[in-house]
Amino acid sequence: MASPTSLTVTVDLEEYSKFEIEEARSVITATIVASGGGDMSGEQITVELTKSRRGRDSVVRTNTATISGTSDPATVSSTIDLNLVVDSDYINLIRRGRYFIKVTSVSDDSVSAITSDFYVNPVTALQLRNTYLFGLKMDAFEMRDVRYQPTQITGVEVVTVSGNHPIGFDVLTYRYDSSTGIRHISWGNGGPITQISSAGMYLLRSACSSNYIEIKVSDLTNLPTSSEAEELYIQKSEITDTKLRRWLNQACDWLENDKIAHVFLEPTRVVTDPLDSTGTEIDWDFIVPRIQFDPCPSGQWINIKFPYANLLRIDELFGQMANTRILNVDTSWVEITERNGFVRLVPFNRQAGFEFIGLVWVESLRGRIELPNFWHFNALAGLRQVDPVLLEMIGKKAAIDALIVAGHALRGGYASQSISRDGVSESVSYTASAIYGIYSATIEDYTKFINKEIKQLRGRYRGPGMVVL
């Protein structure tokens, strides 16, 4: 058995969701190619699912893949089921965001590779297209774009296509003179040739003088050192998956923060201090305000009302005044009422209880007083399981945003169009009236659903709001 000298790794999809099991988007399949080691049979490779944020070092799942066979290069695959990424309390560790896979040779940890970032979301862009936007046109009538950016002519990005450009394939031609280092580029058969002399924007006219594309060259060193020609497909500009993901993320925030406030759809780490006692940054999703200490009535255990419903676990709890930590709470004392975030601190013996009550100044020389911003914590809060109605709410809210944009892009804001020639006329109306868009009926149906369901959801997950005066 020999160690590989290089590794490559890819994943099968660009976006996943642990809730889209039937669509086969809840399992990540990583394909690993190991090379340079000859007979690598039995060689083990560590596969880590890692959050792509801040230090990019928060690993949520680790697998081990073993190479079988004697071929070089050798290919092995590893799968990660997002619904099985749980901790010892069976709390799922996946929250929406970007992730990547890192693979490392067990016998030589200097040999490693990572994938490009991919997305994990409650509702994927593809699910949104296939469910809530199914059958509806998502393109612009008077705008053009390329289907895929150039791959053979590296270092060139198409940023603009003229609005009247014919739909179909055309050729981007790049010529490089190795003797002089001069670079030329042209668009379309017979189009004028433009010399690339520096990084910047270039307007390339096609053989038809009214059509053009605009390209961006960021760095001359990224351009090919040989002549290349590449076919690009021009299509109507359409709403991209990137835009759909932005609307889906906004819909999740809207639901969590506005409609059922402080109810996270997935287990979410909320902390008051992003650094631990040694000054090392911990993994966190949100930095949140500290909680005031309120004296409890005589004969009752000290209690804390956290503002987060579905409080799952408290990993650290301590009391601090100014910059001085005066109390570390043993997490075994913490008793949580999960649904409403109500916490009682119950010490496990009398001596600990006496010391604990004394430390928080319940009977201090200044009397029974509140201590502002006293409680600091590191906790997990969120739903253990997301009901299908919540996913439908997210999908329809994001679909409304997409349909509003798609409606005015379809015909550039025109309500109707009339054409007459040689005594033959045609009149087309794109809306029921000039004040409504083409997708107004669908938007109205989705809005009615949201307004109807949101009341029940707020009651189910938050309950009635009460204030003690």
**Could you give the angle at which helices 388-410 and 241-253 cross, rounded to 10 degrees?**
130
* CB contact at 8 A, 214 and 194: no
Which is higher by pLDDT, 253 or 325? 253
Do 246 and 172 lie in one domain? The reply is no
Q: What is the pLDDT of residues 61-80, one digit of tens each?
A: 999 999 988 888 999 999 99
Residue for token pair 């071929």: 71
C-alpha closest to that of 18 among 64, 55, 60: 60
- Residue 19 sits in which domain range? 6-120
Confidence at residue 467, expressed as pLDDT on a 0 to 100 scale: 45
| Edge-to-edge strand ranges of the sheet holding 303-305 | 303-305, 342-345, 334-337
- Cα 353–358–364 angle (5° rounding)? 155
Confidence at residue 363, expressed as pLDDT on a 0 to 100 scale: 46
Whether 407 is covered by a domain: the verdict is yes
DSSP string, 280-345: PBPP-SEE---EEE-PPPTTS--EEE-S-SSEEEEEEEEEEETTEEEEE--GGGEEEETTTTEEEE
User: Helix, strand, coil % (nearest 5) of the chain?
Assistant: 20, 40, 45
Q: What is the largest CA-CA distance in the chain?
A: 101
Average pLDDT, the chain: 86
Do 250 and 104 lie in one domain? The reply is no
End residue of a domain, out of 218, 238, 258: 238
* CA–CA dist 451, 439 (Å, integer): 18
Do 285 and 361 lie in one domain? The reply is yes
Confidence at residue 1, expressed as pLDDT on a 0 to 100 scale: 65
Output phi, psi for 134, to 5 deg: -65, 130
Residue for token pair 């020999």: 2
Whether 233 is covered by a domain: the verdict is yes
Mean of pLDDT values over 292-297: 80
Dihedral sign (CA 123, 124, 127, 128)? positive
Do 228 and 332 lie in one domain? The reply is no
Do 232 and 296 lie in one domain? The reply is no
End residue of a domain, out of 188, 220, 238: 238
User: How many separate domains does the chain show?
Assistant: 4
Confidence at residue 10, expressed as pLDDT on a 0 to 100 scale: 96
Whether 355 is covered by a domain: the verdict is yes
Confidence at residue 302, expressed as pLDDT on a 0 to 100 scale: 81
Share of the chain above pLDDT 70, in %: 88
Confidence at residue 82, expressed as pLDDT on a 0 to 100 scale: 96
* CA–CA dist 8, 32 (Å, integer): 6
Whether 134 is covered by a domain: the verdict is no
End residue of a domain, out of 238, 259, 289: 238
Output phi, psi for 40, to 5 deg: -110, 20
Mean of pLDDT values over 389-397: 95
Whether 419 is covered by a domain: the verdict is yes
C-alpha closest to that of 343 among 351, 353, 334: 334
DSSP 221: G
* CA–CA dist 58, 88 (Å, integer): 17
Confidence at residue 168, expressed as pLDDT on a 0 to 100 scale: 93
Do 199 and 210 lie in one domain? The reply is yes
Q: What is the pLDDT of residues 202-215, one digit of tens each?
A: 999 887 778 899 99
Dihedral of the CA atoms 447, 450, 453, 459 (nearest 10)?
Answer: -130
Dihedral sign (CA 250, 252, 253, 257)? positive
Whether 420 is covered by a domain: the verdict is yes
Do 13 and 107 lie in one domain? The reply is yes
Do 362 and 390 lie in one domain? The reply is no
pTM reported for the whole predicted model = 0.83
Do 150 and 169 lie in one domain? The reply is yes
Whether 49 is covered by a domain: the verdict is yes
* CA–CA dist 141, 454 (Å, integer): 35
DSSP 366: T
Confidence at residue 143, expressed as pLDDT on a 0 to 100 scale: 87
Whether 37 is covered by a domain: the verdict is yes
Q: What is the pLDDT of residues 37-65, one digit of tens each?
A: 788 889 999 999 999 998 899 999 999 99
* CB contact at 8 A, 141 and 237: no
Q: Kindly indicate the confidence band of residue 352, based on its pLDDT and cuts at 50, 70 and 90.
A: low
Q: Strand ranges (DSSP E) for 188-310? A: 193-196, 200-205, 212-217, 228-238, 268-271, 286-287, 291-293, 303-305
Residue for token pair 């990660």: 80
From the number of C-beta atoms within 10 Å of its C-beta (0-12, 13-18, 19+), residue 402 rates as buried
Do 392 and 454 lie in one domain? The reply is yes
Confidence at residue 290, expressed as pLDDT on a 0 to 100 scale: 94
From the number of C-beta atoms within 10 Å of its C-beta (0-12, 13-18, 19+), residue 56 rates as middle
DSSP string, 67-129: --SS-SSEEEEEEEEGGG-B-TT--B---SEEEEEEEEESS-TT-EEEPPPEEE-SS-HHHHH
Do 254 and 397 lie in one domain? The reply is yes
Do 398 and 368 lie in one domain? The reply is no
